[in-house]
């Protein structure tokens, strides 16, 4: 039998849904208005910018951005048409492909990053105390690890017994 949420738990759950939905929409709208980017596009550009040679195998990029391979492929198609990303064959496995950040993509990311960081700070970080923000990050990391099937003792940096 399902145990229903208490009134307090329901209130917290609904606050989480509202905040995450509204925050994502706000950050995406700010990037769209200022730079013509969606939040998901920005995340792809960030992940590529952080990778060696500003390139990642498509399957790894999908995993990093938590997108299905099909969805990522459509997003990269759009970014490629805009000249922000290029695809190239994977040298180690010709069946695979790499997504590569172009100079134009890098320049757009550099221009958009201050907008995104300012939005994250204004709409999330500055709304919480340092302790609240740390607690939020720790709690959500625990949930993400559970959903990804990662045991807490197996996380990078965790002490081993």
Residue 156, pLDDT > 90, answer no
Listed as own residue / partner, the contacts of 103-108 with beta carbons closer than 8 Å and 24 or more positions apart are: 105/45, 105/48, 105/79, 106/49, 106/54, 108/35, 108/37, 108/45, 108/84
pLDDT tens digits, 97-140: 999 999 999 999 999 999 999 999 999 999 999 999 999 999 99
How far apart are the C-alpha atoms of 47 and 66, rounded to whole Å?
A: 11
Could you tell me which residues come within 8 angstroms of residue 12 by beta carbon, excluding any fewer than 6 positions away? none
Residue 155, pLDDT > 50, answer no
pLDDT at 161: 33
pLDDT tens digits, 32-83: 999 999 999 999 999 999 999 999 999 999 999 999 889 999 999 999 999 9
Give how many domains the chain has, as a whole number: 1
* pLDDT confidence band for 24 (50 / 70 / 90): very high
In a domain, 152, yes or no: no
Strand locations in 62-149 (E): 85-89, 97-101
Listed as own residue / partner, the contacts of 85-90 with beta carbons closer than 8 Å and 24 or more positions apart are: 85/44, 85/45, 85/48, 87/58, 88/55, 90/57
In a domain, 136, yes or no: no
pLDDT at 153: 55
Closest CA to 72 of 54, 82, 89, 57: 57
Instruction: Residue 73: give its domain's CATH number.
Output: 1.10.10.10
In a domain, 1, yes or no: no
In a domain, 133, yes or no: no
In a domain, 81, yes or no: yes
HSE toward the beta carbon, residue 142, CA cutoff 13 A? 6
In a domain, 118, yes or no: no
Which residue range is the domain that position 93 belongs to? 27-112
In a domain, 127, yes or no: no
pTM: 0.85
In a domain, 142, yes or no: no
């Amino acid at each position: 039998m399902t145990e229903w949420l208490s009134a307090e738990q329901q209130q917290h759950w609904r606050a989480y849904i509202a905040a995450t939905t509204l925050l994502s929409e706000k950050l995406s709208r700010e990037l769209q208005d200022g730079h013509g980017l969606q939040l998901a596009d920005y995340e792809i550009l960030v992940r590529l910018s952080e990778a060696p040679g500003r390139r990642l195998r498509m399957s790894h990029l999908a995993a990093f951005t938590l997108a299905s391979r099909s969805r990522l492929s459509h997003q990269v198609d759009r970014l490629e048409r805009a000249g922000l990303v290029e695809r190239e064959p994977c040298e180690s496995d010709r069946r695979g492909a790499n997504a590569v950040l172009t100079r134009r993509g890098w320049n757009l990311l550099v221009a958009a990053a201050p907008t995104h960081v300012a939005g994250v700070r204004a709409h999330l970080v500055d709304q919480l105390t340092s302790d609240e923000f740390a607690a939020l990050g720790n709690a959500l990391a625990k949930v993400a690890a559970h959903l990804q099937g990662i045991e807490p003792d197996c996380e990078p940096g965790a002490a081993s017994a």
